[in-house]
Structure formats: C-alpha cells, structure tokens
Amino acid sequence: METEEHLRARSLTIVDRDGNPKIFLDGGQNPGTAHISLKSDNGAWLQIHEQPGGFITISLNGPTVGAGEVVLGPMGLSIRDGEGKLGVMIGKFSDPSTCEITVYRGGEQKARFPEGWHS
C-alpha cells in the first residue's frame, strides 16, 4: 500500500550519513528571499536565491570555486566572474524594446551587440 507524505516547513537542512549539513532549503522570512543551497565536501557551495523584484540568482562559491554568479531576471541574464565583476549581459537592460549582448573584461565593457541585428 502506497502512502503519500507531505512535509511542510519554513526551512530544512539535509545531512549526510555523518551528520554534515549538505542541502539547505529555506522558504525565506520575507517575500522574495527563499533559497536552496548545496554544499560539497570541500566547502564549495551552489546557491539558488529568489530575490525581490522577480530575480533568481545562481551563485557558486567556496575555497576551490570563485564567487561567480549568474543572475536570471525579468530583463535578462548576467554573468559575473569570481571577483564579482561583470562578464556578460544578455537581455533588455538598456532598451526594453531591444535584446542585446554586452561583453565585459575585468568589469569594463568591451563589446556590445546588436549592431546590424534586427529584433
């Protein structure tokens, strides 16, 4: 006989067989602050955060992984390097009628498209 179980909680920590925290789920104390975190054995983290305003961020950090970050939001996608500097932005950031790609090096803008593209 199958049983259906439903767990309802504001937050949950899942541990490995040795009791080390590995997965964290948090519904958030305020609107737009929920997150999921996964911790590796070497201390690196993968985190997915809900942000106020409809943004979702995905970040990697820890001793062997830089603090890179991918942000998905209503305007588009941005990627930051391990120092937090912009790398790429794709979306409608400067003009809501045009999708564009902007490439950065060291946080400074190096190229921007859509020169010659049509929406």
Quickly list DSSP for 14-72: EE-TTS-EEEEEE--SSTT--EEEEE-TTS-EEEEEEETTTEEEEEEESSSS---EEEE
d(CA 106, CA 39): 28
70, two tokens: 């991918």
In this predicted model, what pLDDT tens digit does every residue of 90-113 receive, in sequence order?
Answer: 999 888 888 999 999 988 999 988
* CA-CA-CA-CA dihedral for 16, 19, 22, 64, to nearest 10: -100
Q: How far is CA 7 from CA 3, 4, 24, 31, in A?
A: 13, 10, 15, 21
List the chain domain ranges. 1-64, 75-119
pTM: 0.65
In this predicted model, what pLDDT tens digit does every residue of 14-61 receive, in sequence order?
Answer: 999 999 999 999 998 777 689 999 998 888 888 898 888 777 888 877
Asked if residue 13 lies in contact with residue 20, where contact means CB atoms within 8 angstroms, the answer is no
